[in-house]
Amino acid sequence: MVKQTAVIFSLIGDINNSFFVVDEDITKFDEVYINQWCDDYTEEQQLEHEKLQDEFNDYFYDVDGDFKIPQTNKRGLEEAIHNGATLIMCGFIL
């Protein structure tokens, strides 16, 4: 059985969130935010984090900057979580 991931996608600096449910485990993107900088990271950790941000960007956005994954509503997100999906939060810092 494929593990679902429920995603709350937040645009930090905006009050609106987007919700997605995907039929795969993308928990590696939990708490990943594009434009996030971590002062406590070593240079190697920061490079790894930037690589993860690039993967994240490729996963969620097409070449035109539009979402590749259809959004759901809050009810669809709650239903997926109720049915066993893992919840993650991620997004974009404006």
Per-residue pLDDT of the chain (94 residues; tens, 9 = 90+): 558 999 999 988 777 889 999 999 999 999 998 888 778 888 898 889 889 999 999 999 999 999 999 999 889 999 999 999 999 999 988 7
Decide if 9 contacts 17 (C-beta within 8 A).
Answer: yes
In sequence order, which residues have a C-beta less than 8 Å from that of residue 76 and are 6 or more positions away?
A: 19, 21
Integer angstrom CA distances of residue 1 from 24, 43, 66? 10, 38, 29
Residue 2: the pLDDT is: 56
pLDDT, residue 13, reads 77
